[in-house]
Amino acid sequence: MNRVKRMHKRFFDTEAWKWIKLVLELLLIAALVWGAIELYTSLGLSEAKAEEEYEIMYVMCSDFVFARATPNKKQEPIGRLEPGDEVVVDGRKKNGYFHCVDLTFEQSEGWIYGGFLVHDKPEKLGQTATIVSYGRLAARKYVNGRRTRWLKSGAKLKVWYWSDDWALTDCGYVQSKYLELDGE
């Protein structure tokens, strides 16, 4: 056993082992850097986005919504969008705003507040609906926004715009799955 220990000690004291150890350490560092880059891009933190990450969304509001050069409501608008207008979202978000590309303005990129965007094209209705939830239903200031009030099951609402996920009513935004359109 002593002989094995001596051979082992001699090998790890050689110049070759020092080079092998250096290469292994460099490979470990490269693997850690590669993993960090993969994590950074998978969390959407990188500036560059793959084309398949672009998403079509639609404006849902009562009148119009401003697009801005920066994600700040104090920023001067670069244009306005009407209900049902289609926008291309590139996945970047900041301060509740979504970064949009290919806009129909002179400045083709801008930021739109996410509380006015839905995934499917809203339909203009102007009819009533009944709340069919098993409890109270939250009316919200924006899509996925803060609650402004509670609505009772069975109450009637005037629905201005309807999408698969949300409805814009006279009380605010509510989840459309808890509404049943009258007359259907």
Question: How confident is residue 11, by pLDDT bands cut at 50, 70 and 90?
Answer: low
Contacts of 149 (CB under 8 A, 6+ apart): 138, 139, 171, 172
The 10s digit of each residue's pLDDT in 164-182 is 999 999 999 999 999 999 8
For residues 61 and 104, state if they share a domain: yes
Determine the longest span between alpha carbons in the chain, in angstroms. Answer: 93
For residues 114 and 132, state if they share a domain: no
The 10s digit of each residue's pLDDT in 27-48 is 889 988 888 888 777 766 555 5
Distance (Å, rounded) from C-alpha 34 to C-alpha 40? 10
For residues 77 and 114, state if they share a domain: yes
Handedness of CA 136, 155, 174, 182 (dihedral sign): positive
For residues 57 and 111, state if they share a domain: yes
Distance (Å, rounded) from C-alpha 44 to C-alpha 118? 20
Where residue 96 falls (left for φ over 0; alpha for ψ -120 to 50; beta otherwise) is: left
For residues 114 and 127, state if they share a domain: no
The 10s digit of each residue's pLDDT in 124-173 is 999 999 999 888 999 999 999 999 999 999 999 999 999 999 999 999 99
How many separate domains does the chain show? Answer: 3
Its domain, for residue 111, covers: 51-118
Which token pair is 21? 């150890």
CA 134 → CA 84, 130, 151, 168, distances in Å?
A: 30, 12, 11, 20
Please state the pTM of the whole predicted model.
0.69
Three-state DSSP class for 86? strand
